[in-house]
Amino acid sequence: MAIDLTVNGTPQRVEADPDTPLLYVLRDDLGLNGAKFGCGLGQCGACTVMVDGRAVLSCVTPVLLMQGRAVTTVEGLGTAEAPGPMQRAFIEEQAAQCGYCIPGMMMRAQALLQERPDADDAAIRRALEFNLCRCGTHMRILRAIRRAADTMRHAETAAPNGRAG
Amino acid sequence: MGRRKTRRNSIGRGLIGGAAVILALGAGAVAWAWESAIPPQPRPAAESFPAELVAEGARLAAVGNCIACHTVPGGRSFAGGLALPTPFGTIHSTNITPDEDTGIGRWSEAAFTRAMRRGVDRDGRHLYPAFPYDHYTRVSDADNRALYAYLMTRTPVRAEAPANHLPFPLNIRMAVAGWKLLYFREGAFTPDPAKPEVWNRGAYLAEGLGHCGACHSPRNALGAVDKDRAWAGGEAEGWTAYPIDQDSPAPVPWTADSLTFYLRHGWHPAHGVSRGPMAEVTGNLVGLPDADVAAIGAYVADRMGPPSAERLRRGEDLRALVSRRTADAGAPPGAGPTAADSQARPPAADSGRTGGDERGEAIYRTACATCHESGRPLPFGGLPFALSTAVNAANPQNIVNVTLFGLPPGDGTVSAVMPAFGGALTDADMVALLRYLRGRFSDQPPWDGLERLVADTRSGAHHVAVRPADGIERAPQNVGAAD
């Protein structure tokens, strides 16, 4: 079936079986490889993207549900040349080791901060509970998210990519 | 003139007389409601309590689920301060650690037992019935002694509970005496000599410390359990507590054995996993001896009564159908299909019903069936909805809670888990899915008011406490609701 959706601000029409996971559509049909396949069961968070501003596990989300919805992937937060506040913060804190979980971490954190710009440490930890990292850079990830929150709060006008999806 | 004066005087006399009667009644009421303070005593040394008594108290405290209300998420155990929203205002649980100034460190055993038996604190103040003394009144002196020993040997924590937010006159403690007059009957449990010992043990635990009826019963306008309809189903922290009497909506009728298994493990292959506040209950029962869990199971099964032959037969048919489908799915244990790797299985023709909602059916097939029809055994696979109590219950609140917010996993332990679909499903999709589940997997009439229920649950207007599967020390944690 044909599904019309917006991905990172661009309208897209994809042809796919209705039960195709959103993750496959993003990676295979649209060439957006930011979101990762981790467990395929919605339990590790590596596939997290934003749909209409909320964190969603794209590996257990059938594309059927995406008709008319706005999807944001890590590619929508900025570019290598002009990284957005969340991406800059992760670079500055060197929060990635192998990096496999990081796009999911960034998208979960982005969704949280867009809804609650003043999210405290407890709220950040609670939101990130569903995203697993096996390298163990948790403390850096937390620092990066605090830094991003700071940047987004104080320089929202100067950072056009601060808001997405 | 004179007549008028006389009349005025008689009115005046009447007023004075009336006031005197009211005063007398009031004084009588105060005298009746008055509870004296029990003198403080120095905190008993922890070593003064025998270890076996403390251990017994630990088991009993788990049955009472004391920690659930008396601990703030992430805070120190039993230090109180948890906000308990009630229809009348917010009450904060108290500190029941043995801190001398802010806890119960200076309470004697007599003061503790009086609180359990009559809902009065050491100072003689009436306690709000959010503390379920209408159930705890049945606890024996011996068990209160063990509970006292357990609590007095916990780590003292200095923590003052925040002030309650209750409107007048509920903020006057004496008002609670009136409530007690209407709804509270003091009295220890009396065994029924006609019943076997195991039944009496189960009744003692379930009706007393276990306080099952506090959640599983309807409450009246003043928050009192409707005693005539005890166990006919209620509400707890945004979750539906199903009827656990003869009207249990479980498709496969409960038995003493299945109840015991469920309470022991927190799940059952024909009924699903415990979640919401019940996850904490089953989590707490871990420390209880098998015999006590079995006693509760036996008593609850007896309260439910034997199912009709028709219900029994339908339950057997369902179980056979589900086990056949599981065998067909042929999934070896531990090798469940991954959602992203497997194509959704078309629903097996079980009931001849279609559900009648095309959008809902499409959502079910693509988003739900991959786990709920995978054949992967519980508690890690999804329950086939034909077995679901929720789908057959009077309202779909628990399905909405689980679908929007998921079942968070327990910490550092293998546990049941379900991803949250709140971000992926719009309200309209959620409603379509509910219509389909009800139509296809239940012969009950359609649910009403789905749009409102879904919207309010998502927005937090209907507050839901979302707990992890092991949720013992973490208490309610709202990981999903927008508020």
User: Could you tell me where in chain A the CATH 1.10.150.120 domains are found?
Assistant: 77-158
> What's the pLDDT at B84?
87
Pairing of strands A54-57, B83-86: unpaired
Say if domain A2-75 classifies as CATH 3.10.20.30.
yes
pLDDT tens for A93-109 read 999 999 999 999 999 99
Show the tokens assigned to B309: 């032959």
Q: What percent helix, strand, coil does chain B show, rounded to 5? A: 45, 5, 50
Could you give the CA distance from residue A157 to residue B466 in angstroms, rounded to a whole number?
36
Backbone angles phi and psi of A38, in degrees to 5: -110, -80
pLDDT in 10s for each residue of chain B, 483 residues: 444 444 455 555 555 666 666 666 666 677 777 889 999 999 999 999 999 999 999 999 999 999 889 988 778 889 999 988 888 889 999 999 999 999 999 999 999 999 999 999 999 999 999 999 999 999 999 999 999 999 999 999 999 999 999 988 888 888 899 999 999 999 999 999 999 999 999 999 999 999 999 999 999 988 999 999 999 999 998 999 999 999 999 999 999 999 999 999 999 999 999 988 898 899 888 889 999 999 999 999 999 999 999 999 999 999 888 887 766 655 444 433 344 544 434 344 355 566 678 999 999 999 999 999 988 888 888 999 999 999 999 999 999 999 999 988 877 777 888 999 999 999 999 999 999 999 999 999 999 999 999 999 999 999 888 877 665 444 333 333 332
B331 touches A at CB < 8 Å: no
Residue B444's pLDDT is what? 93
Stretch A27-42: mean pLDDT: 96
Interchain CB contact of A60 with B (< 8 Å): yes
Q: In chain B, what are the domain boundaries? A: 46-183, 219-483
Fold adopted by A77-158: DNA polymerase; domain 1 (1.10.150)
pLDDT at B212: 97
Instruction: Please tell me the predicted confidence (pLDDT) of residue B469.
Output: 65
CB contact (8 A) between residue A19 and residue B417: no
Indicate left, alpha or beta for A2 from its phi (over 0: left) and psi (-120 to 50: alpha). Answer: beta
* Residue with the two structure tokens 């015991």: B260
Give B411 to chain A, closest Cα distance, Å. 10
pLDDT of residue B32: 72
The verdict on A52 touching B (C-beta cutoff 8 Å) is yes
* Chain A residue with minimum CA distance to B416: A43
A2's enclosing H/E stretch is strand A2-7
Report the residue from B338, B366, B423 with minimal CB separation from A19: B366
Q: C-alpha angle with apex A129: A123 to A134, nearest 5 degrees?
A: 135
Residue of A50, A115, A126 with shortest CB distance to B477: A126
- Residue where the block lists tokens 């009450």: B91
Q: Would the annotation count B215 as a binding residue?
A: yes
Q: How many CB pairs under 8 A join A and B?
A: 80
The tens digit of pLDDT for each residue in B14-52 reads: 556 666 666 666 666 777 778 899 999 999 999 999 999
DSSP annotation string for B41-110: -PPPPGGGS-HHHHHHHHHHHHHHTHHHHSS-TTS-TT----EEEETTEEEE----S--TTTSSTT--HH
Q: Cβ B424–A56 below 8 Å, yes or no?
A: yes
Domain with CATH 3.10.20.30 in chain A: 2-75
From the CA of B282, how many Å to the nearest CA of chain A? 23
Answer whether B363 sits within 8 Å of A43, measured CB to CB: no
Name the closest residue on chain A to residue B428, using Cα atoms.
A65
**How far apart, in Å, are the Cα atoms of B198 and each of A31, B256, B291, B295, B335?**
65, 11, 8, 5, 41
Q: Is B165 annotated as a binding residue?
A: no
Contact A65 B363 (CB under 8 A): yes
According to the model, what pLDDT value does residue B332 have?
Answer: 43
Give chain A positions within 8 Å (CB) of B370: 19, 60
Stretch 416-435 of chain B: residues touching chain A, C-beta under 8 Å: 417-426, 429
* A121 contact B CB<8A: no
Inter-chain contact B423–A19, Cβ cutoff 8 Å? no
Judged by DSSP in three states, B148 sits in helix
The chain-wide mean pLDDT, for chain A, equals 93
- Give alpha helix (H) positions in B208-250: 212-216
Residue A56 forms contact with B (CB below 8 Å)? yes
Provide the pLDDT for residue B334.
40
B375: left (phi over 0), alpha (psi -120 to 50) or beta: left
Which residues contact residue B132 at a Cβ distance below 8 angstroms, ignoring those fewer than 6 apart?
A: B211, B214
Q: What is the predicted ipTM?
A: 0.90
Amino acid at B40: P
Residue A19 has its nearest CB partner, among B365, B419, B422, at B365
Which of A36-40, A90-94, A155-159, B429-433 is least confident?
A155-159
Is B265 labeled as ligand-binding? no
A41 vs B419: CB contact, 8 Å cut-off? yes
Residue B325: in which H helix or E strand, if any?
A: helix B309-329
Contact yes or no for A41 and B338 at CB 8 A = yes
The helix or strand, by DSSP H or E, that contains position A14, with its residue range, turns out to be strand A10-15
CA distance B432 to B232: 29
Cross-chain Cβ contact B425/A65 below 8 Å? yes
